Amino acid sequence: MVANQRLETLDSVYVSYSEMHSLRLIESPGLPKEIPMTRAFSGLGIRHAGHFTRLKWHRLRRSFNDPLFSAEVMAEGFRLGASTELDLRVRSDGGFVVLHDEELEGETNGHGLIRQAAADDIRPLRLTAGGHHPILSEDLASLLQTAHPEALLQFDMKDELAVIGERGMAHLTEYFAGAGSSIIISGHDLDLILAVKEQLPSLKRGIDPTDKLIEIYRENGLKAVEEDLRADLAGRTEPDTIYLAWPLILRAAAEGLDLIGLCRDAGKLVDAWTFNLQSPDEGFDADEAKHFTALMGLKPDQITTDEPIATERAWAAIDG
């Protein structure tokens, strides 16, 4: 997900810098320092005010220059111990492929629904961006064996449990039950997350209530948002991480509700998605600097971005 692509959807909950400043949520970061482009940045995370925030490589990207869902970038993330994310779609044979869209033509040179294609149908295809072959779940399981102990890979499940079915769950169990803390499985379908809890209890779990919370905010206000999120935190899925769009986090904070703090008090981690720079080589513009400073002040555990290296570099320019 890319929060910047949903600004129209999130417009009513988007907080301006002037509002945050008047509520003393942020301090002005001042003029950026000059940070040499040659300085080495890993894109792994940022330390600020005694708190470490991981930077998650959205769609297996260190940069918008990287192709989507590249095995090469994933291997580099595994080597460094990065937090990375990919999307999974179920195939007709019960396995999975690393793709976002429901249909093959969305991201590859193939055609038809992914759930109607088997591994042999998908393996020869190439992604339209980058020309590389799609990653199948069987290959993913092999690559995971090389991962650094600190590496974390998020499986963002794009199909519901009703589509994945027993064969799909059996496949996940066969190939990933032993992955332990290296994998976190997330999705909008709480029935799927419950099935993961029951059948793959050693894997971490995450939920994303953002869309639901936005609708609740519009219809019933912030108090109702707090009540619903508290219910999710105490719910049967027992999530390890809560995924929240960063504009929603800042909107709530501007009105006095610290969503990150609420989750942390319940023993949950928070991923703020998806913060991308408009001009990565140039660093933060004024608004980006103000928003990112406000977000860092709330101490998220992780920030999702397609530009982790540029984000780390941009932050160094204003935070030192």
| Tens-place pLDDT, residues 17-56 | 334 333 334 343 443 444 444 468 999 999 999 999 999 9
DSSP per-residue codes, 95-147? -EES-SSSBGGGTBS--SBGGG--HHHHTT--BTTT-PPPPBHHHHHHHHTT-
| Tens-place pLDDT, residues 226-276 | 999 999 999 999 999 999 999 999 999 999 999 999 999 999 999 999 999
How many residues are given for the chain?
320
Q: At a CB cut-off of 8 Å and minimum separation 6, what does 172 contact?
A: 96, 137, 185, 196, 199, 200
The answer to whether 241 and 270 have CB atoms below 8 angstroms apart is yes
Share of the chain above pLDDT 90, in %: 85
Please identify which residue in the block is written with the tokens 């080495």: 40
Angle at CA of residue 56, ends 51 and 59, nearest 5°: 170
Q: At a CB cut-off of 8 Å and minimum separation 6, what does 135 contact?
A: 69, 71, 74, 86, 97, 98
pTM, two decimals, is: 0.89
| Tens-place pLDDT, residues 136-177 | 999 999 999 999 999 999 999 999 999 999 999 999 999 999
Residue 86 β-bridge partners: 155
The answer to whether 199 and 215 have CB atoms below 8 angstroms apart is no
Beta strand pairing call for 51-57 and 45-48: antiparallel
How many Cβ atoms from other residues are within 10 Å of residue 320's Cβ? 7
Beta strand pairing call for 83-90 and 152-157: parallel
Domain positions in the chain are: 1-64+208-320, 75-206
Residue 16 DSSP SS3: coil
| pLDDT band at residue 320 under the 50/70/90 scheme | low
Residue 236 DSSP SS3: coil
Share of the chain above pLDDT 70, in %: 88
Class of domain 75-206: alpha beta
Q: Flag whether pLDDT at 10 surpasses 80.
A: no
Residue 152 DSSP SS3: strand
| pLDDT band at residue 319 under the 50/70/90 scheme | confident
Cα–Cα distance measured from residue 98 to residue 49, given in angstroms and rounded to the nearest whole number: 36
pLDDT of residue 185: 98
Which tokens in the block code for residue 74? 């994933």
Radius of gyration in angstroms for the set of CA atoms belonging to the chain, rounded to a whole number: 19
pLDDT of residue 39: 60
Phi, then psi, of 234 in degrees rounded to 5: -95, 5
Beta strand pairing call for 83-90 and 96-97: antiparallel
